[in-house]
Amino acid sequence: MSVSTRNTVAWILQALLAFAFTASGISKFLHLDEAVKGFISMGFPGWMLYLIASAEVLGGIGLLLLRFVRPAALGLIIIMIGAVYLHATKIPGGLAKGVPALVLLVLLVVVLVLRRPTTLAA
């Protein structure tokens, strides 16, 4: 894949992921009561919702800032590993309802690979 194509694909994925994570985080903030109850029902403290929602919003923004793409993707990968695990173990519907989380996880890994530092060929 040429550098130009790789860059274009990366930007498209980054924009889509940024939208998805920012929207998800904002949605959690807009529906605080329901979201906190959901976190507590899974055995997590309510404050963890604020942490996850903030991380999603900041991570989504970070995906649009070239300097922060890799750290943002790494942070969101950690969150999505947790989401996939929770879908597989605690959330009703199991992993079948966790497919979107799995897709987001894979796309974040793709962005991380596409944005890896490259060395100039001699």
Q: Return the number of other C-beta atoms located less than 10 Å from residue 115's C-beta.
A: 19
Amino acid (one-letter) located at 4:
S
Tell me if 57 sits within 8 A of 21, measured CB to CB. yes
> How high does pLDDT run on average in the chain?
93
Confidence check: pLDDT of 22 > 60: yes
The predicted pLDDT at position 122 comes to: 52
**Residue 93 main-chain phi, psi, to 5 deg:** 105, -15
* Higher-confidence position of 120 and 49: 49
Q: From CA 52, how far away is CA 83, in angstroms rounded?
A: 10
The predicted pLDDT at position 121 comes to: 58
Confidence check: pLDDT of 118 > 80: no
**Model confidence band, residue 91 (pLDDT cutoffs 50, 70, 90):** confident
Provide the 8-state DSSP code for 34.
H
